Structure 1
Amino acid sequence: MSTAESNPSIGLTTISRTVASLAVGVVHTLERAVVGEGRMRTARGNAWEAVCADRARADRRAELDRVVAELTAARAASARRQRERQPVG
């Protein structure tokens, strides 16, 4: 039995995870200090922003659909008037 096998070693992935964890902690602390406790982004806030963005996109899409329908109707009416003006012959 070897004593080297029983001792856990610190590998490259352990160091990378440690550095990443420390970096996240620093960024979180910095955000709290700069932005303020009440204005920090949360999962709930992000979800609400996504819902609002989806609603705004749906509103713009509906408005564009309405404009296209109006233009299509106007073009069809114009074509109908032109056919009525042409002499049958």
Structure 2
Amino acid sequence: MSTESIGLTTISRTVASLAVGVVHTLERAVVGEAHMRTARGNAWEAVCADRAKADQRAELERLVAELTATRASRPTD
């Protein structure tokens, strides 16, 4: 008879694998197949967020430049 011991890491990996499977199945059931998150979708969201931050940064820089120009053109008392 062969007695192989199951290590703690084996149990942890098994539990983690089962948990991932449950979460994946639950996500499919709750949000539906069409709304599943994918790596491509996550990457596109990141690109859009970067573009939005760049737009906000550019707008802020424009406003600061406008305020600076207004202040510089104002006569001193």
Q: Does the TM-score normalized on the shorter chain lie above 0.5?
A: yes
TM range (shorter): over 0.9
Aligned to 1:44: 40
Residue ranges of structure 1 left out of the alignment (5+ in a row): 84-89
Structure with the larger RCO, 1 or 2 (CA within 8 Å, 6+ apart): 2
TM-score (norm 1): 0.80
| Residue 82 (str. 1) matches residue 55 (str. 2) | no
TM-score (norm 2): 0.92
Following superposition, which runs of at least 4 residues in structure 1 exceed 4 angstroms of deviation?
none
How many aligned positions are there? 77
User: In angstroms, what is the RMSD of aligned CA positions?
Assistant: 1.7
Alignment match of 2:17 (pick from 14, 21, 38): 21
| Residue 65 (str. 1) matches residue 42 (str. 2) | no
Percent of aligned pairs sharing the same letter: 79
